[in-house]
Amino acid sequence: MDIRLLRPSDIPLIQHANLENLPENYFLKYYLYHALSWPQLSYVAVDVSRPKKTPYDYPKIVGYVLAKMEEEPTDGVQHGHITSLSVMRTHRRLGIAEKLMRQSQQAMVETFNAQYVSLHVRVSNVAALHLYRDTLGFQTEKTEAKYYADGEDAYCMKLDLGFIKDQIEEEADGEAKDEGEAVGDVGSDPAEKKKRDAAEKEKKRKVKVGRGLGVGELVERVETKKE
């Protein structure tokens, strides 16, 4: 097993793993969108021991975490989000999912100054709940009724990443002190945050399926706005 950063060339087999493992599927372009927007955040587990069948075999993906930063956080706080995570059944319970998640969380803080990471999980998903709650320390924020396309509810879970930030600062303190704050803190004005939180509560989120439109729409919209 090899746990490493996702590369664009991994994407077809990541998409394949996703289609094998989960009912929430995405176009290839949506994976590209992650890989090209936040290339530091998504990780794969690769079975490096497989003998090659052809000279063109790609590394066999047995697990992946696809992660992003929330682009317009409704609470104004920079945070990461887990779009998808799965491990092939033949490779489960080896600790792969945990390790993928930890790598991603680390990078969320380092590169994008994430304060926390959020995700959705089916209320019936015992394995995933054990991983998130017991192994990684996520807390259930709320239950979203009928979040999934088939009508199942989701737990919306969160993990405060402050502990990673503390670690990094500790390490930095160990070395020589340098010029001030490492990363700009976006939207951390507490008063501002309160307002946003209130607004967020008012808004009732619609049922969403974990399936993106692809960036085409996004890109064009932003482009035309700029012109």
Partner 1 sequence: MPQPLSSRDQTLFRTVIKNYEDKHYKKGLKACEQILKKNPKHGDTTAMKGLILNAQGQTEEAFALAKEALQYDMKSHICWHVYGILYRTNKNFEEAIKAYKFALKLEPESQQIARDLATLQIQTRDYQGYIQSRAAMLKARPSVRQSWTALAVAHHLAGELQEAEHILTTYENSLKNPPLKSDFENSEAVLYKNQIIAERGDIERALEHLETAGKDALDRLAVMELRAQYNKKLGKKEEATKAYRALLDRNPEHPDYYTDLIEVLGLSDEAERKALYDEYATKYPRSDAAKRLPLDFLTGDAFRQAAKSYLVSMLSKGVPSVFANLKHLYKDESKKETLPALVEEYIQELKSSGDVNGDSSKGEGAALYFLAQHYNYHLSRDLAKAMEYADKAIALDPKNVEFAMTKARIYKHQGDTQKAAEAMDAARQLDTRDRYINTKAAKYQLRNDNNEKALELLGMFTRAETPGGPLADLLDMQCIWFLTEDGESHARQGHVGLALKRFHAIYNIFDIWQEDQFDFHTFSLRKGQIRAYVDMIRWEDKVRDHPLYSRPALAAIKVYLDMYDASQSTNGVNGTSGDANGADAQEAKKAAKKAKKEAQKAEKEAAEKAAKQDPNAAKKEEVPGKKKDEDPNGLKLAATEDPLGEATKFLVPLLQFSPKLIDAQIAGFEVYLRRKKYVLALKCLNEALALDENHPALHAQAIQLRHALNSDMKDLDPKVQEALKETFTAVPASADLKQLNAEFLKKHGNSAQHRIAAARAAVTLGEDRSKAEKDLVDALNIKDTTFEDAAALLEQLKKWKSGEVASFKQAAHEKWPEVTVFA
Which residues are near ligand COA by CB under 6 A?
Answer: 21-22, 85-87, 92-98, 121, 125-128, 130-131, 134-135
Helices (H), ranges, the chain = 11-21, 28-37, 96-112, 126-129, 162-174, 190-202, 215-226
Alpha carbons 45 and 94: distance in angstroms, whole number: 11
- Partner whose footprint covers residue 97, from partner 1, ligand COA, none (CB < 5 to 8 Å by kind): ligand COA
What whole-number distance in Å separates Cα of residue 147 and Cα of residue 16?
Answer: 24
State in angstroms the smallest separation of the CB of 100 from partner 1.
9
| Positions 146 through 185 that interact with partner 1 (CB under 8 A) | 149-150, 178-179, 181-184
């992650």: which residue's tokens? 34
Task: Identify which of residues 107 and 154 has a Cβ nearer to ligand COA in the complex.
Answer: 154
In the chain, what is the straight-line distance between the N-terminal and C-terminal CA atoms, in Å? 48
- Rounded to whole angstroms, how far apart are CA atoms 204 and 137? 27
Pair of tokens at residue 71: 């682009």
The one of ligand COA, partner 1, none whose footprint includes residue 134, by CB under 5 to 8 A per kind, is: ligand COA
Between CA 119 and CA 67 the distance in angstroms is 10
Give 85 or 114: the residue with its C-beta nearer to ligand COA: 85
Q: Which does 19 bind (CB under 5 to 8 A by kind): ligand COA, partner 1, none?
A: partner 1
Nearer to partner 1, 141 or 144 (CB): 144
Count the residues of the shown chain that bind partner 1, applying the rule CB under 8 A.
77
Nearer to partner 1, 174 or 201 (CB): 174
Question: By CB under 8 A, what part of segment 52-91 binds partner 1?
Answer: 53-58, 88-91
Partner touching 28 among ligand COA, partner 1, none, CB below 5 to 8 Å by kind: partner 1
140 binds, among ligand COA, partner 1, none (CB under 5 to 8 A by kind): none
Q: What torsion do the CA atoms of 188, 191, 194, 195 make, to the nearest 10 degrees?
A: -110
Three-state SS string across 117-134, please? EEEEEECCCHHHHHHHHH
Residue 154 tokens, joined:
């989701």
Write down the least CB distance from residue 204 to ligand COA, Å: 23
Which residue, 3 or 156, is less far from partner 1 as judged by CB? 3
Provide the CA 2 distance to its chain's centre, in angstroms. 19
**Closest distance to partner 1 from the beta carbon of 191 (Å):** 22
